[in-house]
Structure formats: structure tokens, C-alpha cells
A and B are shown apart, each in its own frame.
Chain A
Amino acid sequence: MNFTLKIWRQKNANAKGSFQTYPLKDVSPEMSFLEMLDYLNNQLIARGNEPVTFEHDCREGICGSCGLYINGRPHGPQRSTTTCELHMRDFKDGETIVIEPWRSKAFPVIKDLIVDRSSFERIMHAGGFVNVNVGCAPESNSNPIGKLIADKVFDAAACIGCGACVAACKNSSAMLYAAAKIAQYAMIPQGKVEAKERVDKMVKQMDAEGFGFCSNTYACEFDCPKGISTDFIALMNREFFSSKACKQKHA
């Protein structure tokens, strides 16, 4: 297969970036998308050019490192698929493929296709945990959680922290990301105890990082490679407003 690649190149955070065009020939349909980029890079290096820098590690869709904006969609055209799981057989021979980094004020570009997602980290630092020390745990089965709830909790916990939700959103909102964690803990006894404080702190941090609000387009859910449901945003909002109500009552 042959492709024309239009790739965002940017030397570093301070440099001005631009699109560069690379024709690429003899691509095997069996190649994964990132293997295709490896293949391009080998050719660039052989020609004495700098390879395209992109983030990746596990290459099996679980670490959340890779995230490219491909033809206007986070992680490309396939639903429920990370960039590393995409294969060239999913593209048309002769196609032009546009590859960009995530675009969001809260995710500044570091180099080429790599962005700085430390804003996501700081949201977790603000409250993405249960306050329990090593050694404090009760016996595991002392807190039964019904299978249906447990399965829902798992669905929320499946987030890989890639940032596709932010990239998909016209407001660059991180609501789905934050909501997944908030909901995971709010639904179980271990996390319920401090659910109100948690939602308060995490939302505050999310706003401080410059992420936008949710305007219910559901683009995040549509493009989430793990299919995380916007229902969790509703759950987060409920937690958030009831936390406000609690505060007012106490005040």
C-alpha cells in the first residue's frame, strides 16, 4: 500500500511547528499504525533526516502512552481502538493520512507528536485515591459488593489515561477522565467515605489546569478507546452538586 502522510513536526515546546508531507511506499496491510511510523522513521534516518518523535510503549492498547490525532479523530478511524492497535488494513490504499498531536491548552506539545499530560497527573494528585495505609485493610470479603456494581466499577476503572477524551472535545474538557476515577470510588464502600471531598478537589484541579467544561456532545465517549460511558459524568455531577449542598448546609 502507498500513503501520503502529513505529520505535525515541532522541534520543541518553544519552537513553531508545521505540517510536513512524506510519501510512503510499500506499506504492508499487516503493519500496525505505529509500525508504519517506525518504517517511515527508518527511511528518514537513512536519508539523514530526524525521525518523527511519538510516544508509545506497550503497543497492545493498555499503557495509554500512544495517542495520535489521525485524520481528525483521536486514535484514528476505528472505535474502541488505541493508535497502537490500529492496522494499516483499516486504511485505503493511496489515502492521505494527517497525523497531529493531541490539541489542547492543557496538553502543550513537547516535541513533534508528544504532548505533556502532567495536568492529568495533577488531577489525580488532588484526590484520585482512597486514603488507606498499608496494613489497615480489613479482610477482603468483609465488604461485599454485588457483581452488577462491581462490573460497573470496573468499567469506570478501565480508563488508560491517554487523553483522547480531551482531544475529542471541542472544549478540551477532561470531565470523562476525572469522572471515571470519581465514579469508580463513589460506587464502592471503600471510596464512599470521602467521595464528597474527592470530587471537590479533583474538579477544582481540573479547572485550574485549563480544561474546559462539558457541553454534552458525547464526543469523548465516542472516541474513548476503552468505551468509557458519559453516564459517569452524570454521576460525577451529582456527587459534585451534593458536595456543594453539604457544604452550604454546614456553613
Chain B
Amino acid sequence: MIKLDSKIPEGPLAEKWSRYKTGLRLVNPANKKKIDIIVVGTGLAGAGAASALGELGYNVKVFCFQDSPRRAHSVAAQGGINAAKNYRNDNDSIYRLFHDMMKGGDYRAREANVYRASEVSNDVIDHFTAMGVPFARDYGGSLDTRSFGGVQVSRTFYAKGQTGQQCLLGTYSSLNRQIAKGTVKIFPRRDMLDIVVVEGKARGVITRNLVTGELERHSAHAVVLATGGYGTVYYLSTLGLGSNASAAWSAYRKGAVFANPSFIQIHPTSIPVLNDYQCKLTLMSESLRNDGRVWVPKEKGDKRHPNEIAEEDRDYYLERRYPAFGNLVPRDVASRAAKERCDAGYGAGDTGLSVYLDFKDAINKQGEKAIRDKYGNLFEMYEKITGVNPYKQPMRIYPAGHYTMGGLWVDYNLMTTIPGLYAIGESNFSDHGANRLGASSLMQCSGDGYFILPNTISDYLADDIRTGKIPVDQPAFEEAEKQVADRIQKIMDVGGKETASSFHKRLGKIMWDYCGMRRDAEGLKKGMELLIQLEEEFWKNICIPGTDKELNQELEKALKVADFFEVGRLMCEDALQREESCGAHFREEHQTETGEAKRNDAKFAYVAAWEYQGPKAKPILHKEALEFKYVELKERSYK
């Protein structure tokens, strides 16, 4: 059985990382050339890590399923990236950023990791600026910032509503620089289907070439997963359609422990479902809540046009319930508040499943041009999708599945429980507790990739300088490839009638209904039963046209959906054992009189880390106790 060791260093919080770093072993430049590293995923974390490792002189192989690393889903992040620069003189600091993240995460994250993420945030901004990322600037030429939910300072750097795109393109440029130098080799259009473990260490991956269908073996001295989150478990989510859990899940099946799977963020401001064929919900950035006011009609079922509803007939429920933070409460709070109003019958639109996000006051005060400058692309995007002009009437929004705080368990070195296998960015669990604050994912991904992993991984690789190339013709690779080939054969052989998307949609509905914004014990058990039934049906009736030896998008989808049944079950299992409400995890049974999340610190101040025991067996729960020395555990109030 696995024993969790978080390896959190001793010493005062603010000095942990700098002291620990100095003690880490190095690999000298001549030896780095003898070491291979695989990085899977080319978002901010993966492309950042690959380029930083390439700069150091390692041989890096990097994989992505897209045709270009520039299309990884970090590209779609909108609002911004946090850093504790204190450019606004609003008394911001590394400690305050740390504290906001701890509180925002409802005290379910590790102090040491969160502090480190805050600590490197300033370096991240400097590096992006040096690479030419066009952050918004003031007339004098210095960088501008804006506010995000759950904080009272202005520390979010941004590039219109395309901050993720600009940060990713910056990271992509540093990756291209290493590709040109030959330190990094890029393998696009590849799905990673398994991890190869040799004598207990991660030594490679099995990938499928998505154009030819061939299975490939790749070896290395260490493997880094930067494969993002599993929010597409809900089918409808703000994620790209290709986002999936499969790479992380193959690691879980091989013994990497998976932490807090039920902690999944439902973003409050997405464009609502408009038709039955929809496969994607488009996010409207949280930054819009800087100027937009959220409201519903005071009268139940008031179906008047929003512009005809007078001020006194509107309920600005966030401002009413949370006067201190108003429209900028954290995402979990805003999402639940929207659901509460809609469930109570006050929702807007034909379906009653939306609330208004209104810019009228901001436009009157600042003028349309100022609003266009800040959010122009978001307003355009909204109009294209809905056909409604948000300068003229309020947007309609509703919560949607977005970001997974849970992920592969990692220690302070960002290493999973499989030696030599690392997980960075959204694919790990470490920094956001039970709820992530806006603009801190770009920050964490880049920090992990550029500044943290390159230091910690050398300590592990220092033992590998004499290992030599890892051969791919050894039994562990053969077995792993055979397992993958068998699974593909099995899924191709079903010859059923229902498409992967159809199964995915049904699976997503189960997850949304029973393991979504509000959960209870009965529902979670029901959800698990339904998932088992649906999975059985899947293996009897999945339909995949064509062959596996060619570009076959239906096969790609089916392989991902097949993994999601297990992901969903583990999410339910985890949500069921956590008999408390914290952050995005809300159990009906555990709420305060005013309907806020009610934590149980005495019993649940731990990371729930699950160890795989086989496809049908119940996984083993490990608990990593969380210690809080630098923050005081309080009821998280935004009132």
C-alpha cells in the first residue's frame, strides 16, 4: 500500500521554498544531455516546462493531441493572471495573495504549495513581459491590472479578454525557440494512452499517432503530465471538446494516487444552453463582474424584456447577500447563488435557467468605448453566439462546469506517487483547495512549468546520470503497448449502434444532476449506480465506424468517454465520503442557516487521495492531513 509523504520542507513559510531549493541536487550541463524527459500537454504548464527544461539542456520530447501546441486549452482562458506585484499600492503582498487563495479554496489546500505559487507569481509576469506578451498597459507605459472575484485588491494582469491566448502564445514562442535549437522535439496529433512503468519508475509513454493510428513507444528518464483537467466529464462545459482525463487516468490505473476528485469548479458566468445539439458552453470571463451587475426579477416568472424591468423590480441578489464583495464574490458562491434564484423560480429567459449580467450602469458612467476597450472581444463573442447585443441589453448567463481543483496527487516536488512521474498545472491537485480563485490558474500553470518543476526534477534526475538511454524493446513497453492495443481492439469490436457523443451526453447529464453544484448522499449513490449501468451499456452498444489504423475521430472520442465512467464514479465516491461542504463541494446535508457551505474542520481537514484497486473494486482512501499554521480557519464569509 502507498504511503503519502508530502515532503513539505521545514522552516518558516516564507523561507521554505528558497531554503529547500538550495538543498536540491543538480545535474551538470554535460550530464543533462544524457537525460531524456517526456512532457505530455502543451498548455501553459506543459509548454512552459518543456521550454524551461530545454533551456537547461535536457532532451525533451513534448506531445499534444492538437495539430499545434498553440491550440492547447490554456488558449481559451480569458480574464487574467494574478501576481503580487502591488503595482496599485493597494497593500498587496505575497502573503495576501497566499491568504486569499487559502481562503478562496476554503482551507483545503496545502499552505506550503500555495505560498510558493504566490511567491513565483511575480517572476511569471516578468518572464511573460520579457517574452513580449502584450499585457494591457496604462498611458505612461506601465502594466495595468484589474480585480477578480474573492479579493479586495487589483492584482490581475490581462490582455483584453484573451489573456490565456497571449500567455500561451508567449509560452509557445519559448517552446518554438527550443524546437529550433533542437533541445525539444515536438510530437503533435498524438494521444497519450498509457504510462510505462519500469521497476517502479515512470520511464515512458505509449501514444497513438492520430493520423496513422499507429501505436508508438517513447522512453525517458522522467515523465511530466501537463494534461489539464477533467471538466468535460459534464459533457457540456467551458472546455475544449478535446479536453479529457485519459492521460491522468492511465497514471491513476498504474498506481498514481488521485486527490480530491470531487472538487470541480462550476463557473458562474457562461452563456446558457440554447439548443439540444449544443456540445459546449462558452465562458464569459469573470472580469465582466468588475463592471457588470448580476440580477434577476424580483417577481417570480416575470417574463418582461429585461430593459422593461424597472430598477425597483430588480433583485441584485449578490449585492444584497454579500455587500462586502458584491458582484465579485468567488465563483462557487456566485454559482450557487444563481442556481438558488433559478431553482426558486426567478430565473430569466424561456427556460428560467439564467440570470442577467447587466452593463447598463457601467456604460452610463464610463461610456461605451471604455467598456469596449476592456471587454470588446467578449461582447462580440456573446453577440455571435446568442444574436443579442450586450451593449443594448443585459447578457444572460448560467453556471457551467469549468475547472478541476482535484487531480493527480503530488508532493512538494510535484511528483506523483509513481517515482519519476510528475503532474503540473491543472492536472495536479495542489494549489486551489476546494475552489479556485479567478486568474490563479494561469499563474499556477506557469509557475509550475517555468519556475518550480525545472528545479525539483533535477533532484530526481541526479540519480539517472549513469542510467543511459531507456530501451523501448523491454517487456514493460511491450506489455503496455499490448494493453492499449487490446483495449482499442475491444472497443472497435463492439459494433453497436450508439455514438460516443451520445454516451458522453448521457454521462454528463448524470454527473450534472447527481454530482454537480449541489450534492447529497442519496443522489451520489444513485449517480454511481447509473454510471455503472451506462458503462455496461457502452461496452455493448458503442458504435465506431472506420478502422483504428487511420484518422478516426469517433475512436478518439470513444476511448476518452470510456475513461470518464470511472472518473465519474470516483468523483461520486469522493463527494460521498466528504460529509461537509467546502468550496465548490456543496453537500445539501451540510449548510448554514443562510445556505452557505458548512465545513467540518475537525473531521475533514485533509486531502482525500484515492488509490486504484481495479476496474470494479472500491479504491483505497488515503488521507493527507492538512496543517494550518499561517492562516486561521474561519467560516469563509464574503458578507
Q: Is A153 located at the chain interface by the 8 A CB criterion?
A: yes
Contacts of A135 in B (CB 8 A): 123, 127
Pairwise interchain contact B551-A110, C-beta atoms closer than 8 A? yes
Chain A's closest residue to B52 (CB) is A134
Known: A57-B241, A134-B454, A147-B139. A49 touches B131 (CB 8 A): no
Q: Is A111 located at the chain interface by the 8 A CB criterion?
A: yes
CB distance from A47 to the nearest CB of B (A): 10
Known: A28-B275, A146-B141, A185-B132. A53 touches B551 (CB 8 A): yes
Q: Of A118-126, A210-218, A233-241, which binds chain B?
A: A118-126
Pairwise interchain contact A125-B180, C-beta atoms closer than 8 A? yes
Q: Is A161 located at the chain interface by the 8 A CB criterion?
A: yes
Pairwise interchain contact A150-B179, C-beta atoms closer than 8 A? no
CB distance from A28 to the nearest CB of B (A): 5
Pairwise interchain contact B129-A140, C-beta atoms closer than 8 A? yes
Docked complex Cα distance between A21 and B211 (Å): 25
Contacts of B166 in A (CB 8 A): 154, 157
CB distance from A42 to the nearest CB of B (A): 6
Pairwise interchain contact A188-B551, C-beta atoms closer than 8 A? no
Known: A28-B277, A185-B132. A81 touches B75 (CB 8 A): no
Contacts of B499 in A (CB 8 A): 42, 45
CB distance from B502 to the nearest CB of A (A): 8
Q: Of B28-36, B157-165, B412-420, B631-639, which binds chain A?
A: B157-165
B116-134 vs A, CB cutoff 8 Å, 1 = contact: the mask equals 0000000101110111111
Pairwise interchain contact B130-A137, C-beta atoms closer than 8 A? yes
Contacts of A39 in B (CB 8 A): 277
Contact of A124 among B136, B176, B241, B282 (CB under 8 A): B176
Pairwise interchain contact A131-B177, C-beta atoms closer than 8 A? yes
Pairwise interchain contact A56-B241, C-beta atoms closer than 8 A? yes
Pairwise interchain contact B553-A51, C-beta atoms closer than 8 A? yes
Contacts of B553 in A (CB 8 A): 51, 53
Q: Is B67 located at the chain interface by the 8 A CB criterion?
A: yes
Known: A62-B165, A125-B179. A134 touches B76 (CB 8 A): no
Give the bracket for the number of chain B residues in contact with chain A: 35 or more
How many A-B contacts at CB < 8 Å in the complex? Answer: 208
How many residues in A have their beta carbons less than 8 Å from beta carbons of B? Answer: 77
Contact of A140 among B139, B143, B380, B384 (CB under 8 A): B143
Of the listed residues B71, B132, B142, B211, the one surrounded by the most CB atoms of chain A closer than 10 A to its CB is B132
Pairwise interchain contact B85-A157, C-beta atoms closer than 8 A? no
CB distance from B226 to the nearest CB of A (A): 16
Contacts of B241 in A (CB 8 A): 56-59
CB distance from B14 to the nearest CB of A (A): 20
Q: Is B55 located at the chain interface by the 8 A CB criterion?
A: yes
Pairwise interchain contact B282-A63, C-beta atoms closer than 8 A? no
Pairwise interchain contact B240-A45, C-beta atoms closer than 8 A? no
Q: A59-B280, A134-B450 are in contact. List 16 more A-B contacts (CB 8 A).
A: A38-B277, A42-B499, A63-B66, A64-B70, A81-B384, A111-B551, A121-B186, A124-B173, A125-B176, A125-B180, A132-B127, A132-B131, A140-B125, A146-B139, A150-B141, A190-B131
Residues of A within 8 A of B (CB): 11-12, 28, 30-32, 35, 38-39, 42, 45-46, 48-51, 53, 55-65, 78, 80-81, 85, 87, 89, 110-111, 114, 116-118, 120-121, 124-141, 143-147, 150, 153-154, 157-158, 160-161, 184-185, 188, 190-191
Top 8 A-B pairs ranked by shortest CB distance?
A: A144-B141, A137-B130, A129-B173, A137-B126, A57-B240, A30-B275, A150-B137, A129-B177
